[in-house]
Amino acid sequence: MSYNYEDNCLKFQHGGFDYACFSLFSDQSLKESDYGLMFLTSPYYQAEEDYSTVYMRNGDKYPIGALIPLHLLEEDDSDYVSELVPYYKRYASLAIRKAISYLATKNILCPDDSEFHLSDYFKHPNVCLFIHSISETGSDVSCIVPSLYDNGYYLLKDPLKEKNLKLYSSSYMISSRPARRSRNVLVKPIKFFEHNKNYFIYLYTELLPYIESPFYRFFSLYQAIELLSDYTYKSDVDKYIQSFKQGKISKNDLREKLVEAVNEKKQIQHVYNNVIWKDDRCLFSVIDSLLDNANIEKPKTNELSVYIYTLRNKIVHEMHSLFRYEKELKDIVDYFEKNIFNLLAENMIKQL
């Protein structure tokens, strides 16, 4: 669509009718066709000043777009808007045009209300528009959905609905939010294997943003370890068999290695091998504290992977005895979800 900017409105035609959308953002230098649009929401970032430049790291770090809150697009203080960095003004202007195009494709623009604000249609109380360069992200942006979640932004299923499910808030994220709200957001693409891609998208769009139960969250996250363990098992077996065929190891060595490969604890240790997250010691500490409080026998080795495996077994076999430690388990899960994202990012980089 083509737009004319006058009287603090973007004016356009659609379906033979004239419309005017309120806006203090007039720049039209960025082409709509060069950018994609995702609707996000967040329990942590809800103010108009929560706008961010988005960078992607896939080897090098480079900008791919911006996160623009709907509250910023609705801003009616011209002095506030005039002080914004030109970069954000350009993206805010583009976000308004992309939002109007979205409404047009939904065929819900009403000729009887030809002068409107975006919030007249986008009823959800906290909508954030992620404008991303298609040339940088490609057409399939599902690979960055987990990283957006890791940064505190959840994929919004329907931005036109007034109400949605209550969003989950992590105590870790609340405590680690930057003091300066307008900031840079770094996303890491995760290119999942086709056979497990659907589960991870479901995990980061349908489960983690909404599920409150720490038991449910723990099991949902632990599936990532199960899937990665399955991959490492198959990879190790193939490697050992090839070594045997090439005469590099004996039949007895092959037998021993295959026995080790099916050991679940060894598989998990392999998944965690050389993967270090800055708050691993905090995760270890909160698990250690729960094991103490619940009188659970601790592993003889102080490895994080073994502690996680011990907790998993306790929940699977004696979940009934841990209900009174639900708060402690929530603290664990809030660290655990950060740990799992880091685990996925590092292991997928190794495998692809």
pLDDT of residue 351: 47
Overall number of domains in the chain: 2
Q: Which of 16-20, 63-67, 137-141, 244-248 has the lowest mean pLDDT?
A: 137-141
Q: Is residue 339 part of a domain?
A: yes
Distance, C-alpha 116 to centroid of its chain: 32
Q: Is residue 299 part of a domain?
A: yes
pLDDT of residue 179: 60
Q: Tell me if 29 sits within 8 A of 96, measured CB to CB.
A: no
Each residue's pLDDT tens digit, 20-54: 999 999 999 999 999 999 999 999 998 888 899 99
Written as six digits, the tokens of 320 are: 């009934």
Q: Based on the fold, state whether residues 278 and 247 are members of the same structural domain.
A: yes
Confidence label for 178 from pLDDT (cuts 50, 70 and 90)? low
pLDDT of residue 274: 65
How many angstroms separate the CA atoms of 230 and 234, rounded? 6
Q: Is residue 264 part of a domain?
A: yes
Q: Based on the fold, state whether residues 221 and 187 are members of the same structural domain.
A: no
Q: Based on the fold, state whether residues 12 and 146 are members of the same structural domain.
A: yes
Q: Which among 161, 193, 225 is the end of a domain?
A: 193
Instruction: Residue 123: give the domain boundaries.
Output: 4-193
pLDDT mean across residues, the chain: 89
Backbone φ and ψ of 37, nearest 5°: -135, 130
Written as six digits, the tokens of 142 are: 């599902």
Q: Is residue 178 part of a domain?
A: yes
Whether the per-residue pLDDT at 156 is higher than 80: the answer is yes
Classify residue 161 by burial, with Cβ atoms within 10 Å: 0-12, 13-18, 19+: exposed
Whether the per-residue pLDDT at 177 is higher than 90: the answer is no
User: Is the pLDDT higher at 121 or at 57?
Assistant: 121
What is the sign, positive or negative, of the torsion defined by CA atoms of 134, 135, 138, 142?
negative
Looking at residue 157, the DSSP 8-state letter turns out to be S
Q: Based on the fold, state whether residues 187 and 229 are members of the same structural domain.
A: no
If you write DSSP's letter for every residue of 258-294 in order, what string do you get?
A: HHHHT-HHHHHHHHHTT---TTHHHHHHHHHHHHHHT
Token look-up 């737009």 returns 3
How many angstroms separate the CA atoms of 348 and 352, rounded? 6
Q: Based on the fold, state whether residues 14 and 139 are members of the same structural domain.
A: yes
Mean pLDDT along residues 224-238:
84
Confidence label for 352 from pLDDT (cuts 50, 70 and 90)? very low
Mean pLDDT along residues 57-61:
75
Confidence label for 70 from pLDDT (cuts 50, 70 and 90)? very high
Q: Is residue 199 part of a domain?
A: no
Q: Is residue 234 part of a domain?
A: yes
Q: Based on the fold, state whether residues 224 and 183 are members of the same structural domain.
A: no
How many angstroms separate the CA atoms of 25 and 34, rounded? 19
Q: Is residue 261 part of a domain?
A: yes
Instruction: Provide the edge-to-edge strand list for the sheet that holds 154-155.
Output: 154-155, 35-41, 128-133, 60-69, 52-58, 183-187
Q: Based on the fold, state whether residues 337 and 241 are members of the same structural domain.
A: yes
Percent of the chain with pLDDT over 90: 58
Q: Based on the fold, state whether residues 187 and 228 are members of the same structural domain.
A: no
Backbone φ and ψ of 119, nearest 5°: -70, -15
Q: Is residue 69 part of a domain?
A: yes
Whether the per-residue pLDDT at 59 is higher than 70: the answer is no
Q: Which among 139, 163, 193 is the end of a domain?
A: 193
Classify residue 251 by burial, with Cβ atoms within 10 Å: 0-12, 13-18, 19+: exposed
Q: Based on the fold, state whether residues 227 and 304 are members of the same structural domain.
A: yes
Distance, C-alpha 305 to centroid of its chain: 23
Confidence label for 251 from pLDDT (cuts 50, 70 and 90)? confident
Mean pLDDT along residues 118-125:
92
Q: Which of 82-91, 192-201, 221-230 has the lowest mean pLDDT?
A: 192-201
Question: 123-133: buried (b, 16+ CB within 10 Å) or exposed (e) per residue?
Answer: ebebbbbbbbb
Written as six digits, the tokens of 46 are: 């809800």
Q: Based on the fold, state whether residues 229 and 298 are members of the same structural domain.
A: yes
Q: Based on the fold, state whether residues 184 and 262 are members of the same structural domain.
A: no
Q: Based on the fold, state whether residues 124 and 170 are members of the same structural domain.
A: yes
Q: Tell me if 12 sits within 8 A of 100, measured CB to CB.
A: yes
Written as six digits, the tokens of 91 are: 């993206």
Q: Which of 71-75, 120-124, 147-151, 177-181 has the lowest mean pLDDT?
A: 177-181
Classify residue 85 by burial, with Cβ atoms within 10 Å: 0-12, 13-18, 19+: exposed
